[in-house]
Structure 1
Amino acid sequence: MKHALPEHYYTQLKELQAVDFVIVELTLYLDTHPDDQQALEQYNRFVHHRMQIAQQFQVEFGPLTSFGYSFSQAPWQWKEAPWPWQV
């Protein structure tokens, strides 16, 4: 089932994916450099930023994940397509 989505859906999703990429890279770096305070601060800033982006996205478009990681409005939103990985 294909839904017509506004352009900012894709813009926000791409921003979220970019931030996720940075978080993964910083996680890998911090695994081998756990005392790098600057990297840790950068990691925490990106995690905070991700939380803000994800919250804004989910308010407008519904949950990004299931299994207790995202809230849902009534009725249950998780069954509504498209899921982020389908676009």
Structure 2
Amino acid sequence: MTNEQHQLLMYIDQISFALDDTVLFLDTHPCDTEALAYYQELKEERKMAMEKYASKFGPLQNDNVKCGCSWSWVETPWPWELEGRDC
């Protein structure tokens, strides 16, 4: 796994955690406009990060697959298959 790939995965993890935490807050504060705006911002950041990862290293989730003449979801190694590799 390259340093860039590792950094991008860590960033996606961090954004995903913040997004999940914001969803939990919104479950109990559904009319909080500041939290709703923060949720939208995080959602867009995560979407962009996921698209960047998919374009460089392959999709992390099946909804990031670019459908063409084959199902590309299975063409790249899974992130955990790359851990410990130097290439």
TM-score relative to the length of structure 1: 0.81
AA aligned to 2:64 is: S
Structure 2: give runs of 5+ residues left out of the alignment.
none
Q: Which residue of 2 aligns with 1:25?
A: 21
TM-score relative to the length of structure 2: 0.81
Query: Is the helix fraction higher in 1 or 2?
Result: 2
Tell me if the contact between 1:58 and 1:64 (Cα under 8 Å) persists in the aligned partners.
yes
Q: Distance in 2 between matches of 1:16 and 1:78?
A: 18
Tell me if the contact between 2:58 and 2:76 (Cα under 8 Å) persists in the aligned partners.
no
**Deviation per CA, 1:39-79, whole angstroms, max 9, x where unpaired?**
0100000000011111011000001112xx11237654322
Pick from 12, 15, 38 the counterpart of residue 16 of structure 1: 12
- The total of aligned residue pairs comes to 81
**How large is the Cα RMSD of the aligned pairs?**
1.8
1:81: how far off?
Answer: 4.5
